[in-house]
């Protein structure tokens, strides 16, 4: 092969390698970005666990680039965690006052929060209970030794229970019998295992358990309105995805799922 042909061949191979590199890199970058998954952290009240786990399955099927990670617990505890800098993209509270703390602290914009659903407070006993409890007043009987409620300062359901007991003129009588729990699910567990004679939980929690029975519902007039607000954390690093899930929670089909678990549509 003469020198001229050799030079042409070398130039051709050089240009081909450059064009190939230019053609491959954008494609690879595009594929890499399309496969990137965004993880959203939602701090949510323990009473929402079953409903949100159900909603999660549907949402992740429809949004393959998003992974939902839930941090379930007592609303008061979750609010304190967020106030102290714990990472979260959304907050779904079981009480307005806990939610309003974050609004006042500037961690949630008022325009990016909404009262989504409501709930009821009920009195439950073990399924096989022989204790004759059919009303809240029955809790004052000497035969009833232990009653569980959530810690009022941190657990909204416990706060509502305390309010109801006070308005029913039962608080002073029942205080010595109370067993406090870290969240509403722990109250439910105490009742399920028979460690207490009765407990006060949300209707939604009672409905998912086959080991307890509802014997009474608290009159809504005996406690503050039970409202579940949800909002976007202002400093979220995933604003687009957080807003999309926030809007998804408000869809009629999603609210219907929450209603299926016993929650009440916010009027």
- Determine whether the annotation assigns residue 206 to a binding site: no
pTM above 0.85, yes or no: no
Please give the structure tokens belonging to residue 117.
Answer: 């659903």
pLDDT tens readout for residues 181-195: 999 999 999 999 999
User: For residues 189 and 204, what is the distance between their CA atoms, to the nearest angstrom?
Assistant: 14
- Determine whether the annotation assigns residue 202 to a binding site: yes
pLDDT tens readout for residues 79-127: 999 999 999 999 999 999 999 999 999 999 999 999 999 999 999 999 9
Looking at 3.40.50.300, 3.40.30.10, 3.30.559.10, 3.40.190.10, the CATH number of the domain 38-118+227-265 comes to 3.40.190.10
Report the residue count for the chain.
Answer: 267
CATH superfamily of 121-222: Periplasmic binding protein-like II (3.40.190.10)
pLDDT score, position 267 = 66
pLDDT score, position 32 = 43
User: For residues 98 and 71, what is the distance between their CA atoms, to the nearest angstrom?
Assistant: 16
User: Quick one: which of 251, 239, 267 has its CA closest to 108?
Assistant: 239
pLDDT score, position 18 = 53
Instruction: Report, as ranges of residue numbers, the positions in the chain whose pLDDT lies below 70.
Output: 1-35, 267
pLDDT score, position 7 = 46
| Cα dihedral 44, 261, 217, 175 sign | negative
Q: Do domains 38-118+227-265 and 121-222 have the same CATH topology?
A: yes
- Determine whether the annotation assigns residue 75 to a binding site: yes
- Determine whether the annotation assigns residue 248 to a binding site: no
pLDDT score, position 265 = 87
Domain boundaries along the sequence of the chain: 38-118+227-265, 121-222
User: For residues 14 and 69, what is the distance between their CA atoms, to the nearest angstrom?
Assistant: 49
Can you list the positions of beta strands (E) in 144-252? Answer: 147-150, 178-181, 198-202, 212-217, 227-233
User: Quick one: which of 91, 82, 96 has its CA closest to 44?
Assistant: 91
Q: Are 69 and 41 in contact (CB under 8 A)?
A: yes
Q: Any residues with CB less than 8 A from the CB of 237 and at least 6 apart, and which?
A: 89
User: For residues 205 and 192, what is the distance between their CA atoms, to the nearest angstrom?
Assistant: 12
């Amino acid at each position: 092969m003469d020198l001229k042909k050799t030079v042409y061949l070398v130039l051709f191979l050089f240009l081909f390698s450059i064009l190939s590199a230019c053609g491959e890199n954008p494609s690879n970058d595009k594929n890499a970005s399309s496969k990137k998954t965004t993880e959203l952290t939602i701090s949510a009240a323990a009473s929402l666990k079953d409903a949100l786990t159900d909603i999660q399955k549907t949402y992740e099927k429809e949004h393959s680039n998003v992974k939902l990670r839930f941090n379930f617990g007592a609303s008061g505890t979750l609010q304190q965690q967020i106030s102290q800098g714990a990472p979260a993209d959304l907050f779904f509270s079981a009480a307005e006052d806990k939610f309003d703390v974050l609004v006042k602290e500037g961690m949630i914009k008022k325009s990016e929060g909404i009262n989504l659903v409501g709930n009821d407070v009920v009195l439950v006993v073990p399924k096989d209970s022989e204790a004759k409890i059919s009303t809240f007043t029955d809790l004052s009987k000497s035969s009833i030794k232990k009653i569980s409620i959530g810690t009022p300062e941190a657990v909204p359901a416990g706060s509502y229970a305390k309010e109801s007991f006070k308005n029913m003129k039962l608080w002073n009588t029942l205080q010595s019998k109370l067993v406090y729990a870290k969240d509403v699910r722990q109250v439910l567990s105490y009742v399920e295992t028979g460690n207490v004679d009765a407990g006060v939980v949300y209707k939604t929690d009672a409905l998912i358990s086959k080991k307890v029975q509802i014997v009474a519902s608290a009159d809504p007039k005996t406690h503050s309105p039970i409202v579940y607000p949800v909002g976007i954390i202002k400093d979220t690093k995933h604003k687009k995805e957080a807003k999309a899930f926030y809007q998804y929670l408000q869809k009629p089909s999603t609210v219907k799922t929450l209603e299926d678990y016993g929650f009440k549509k916010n009027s």
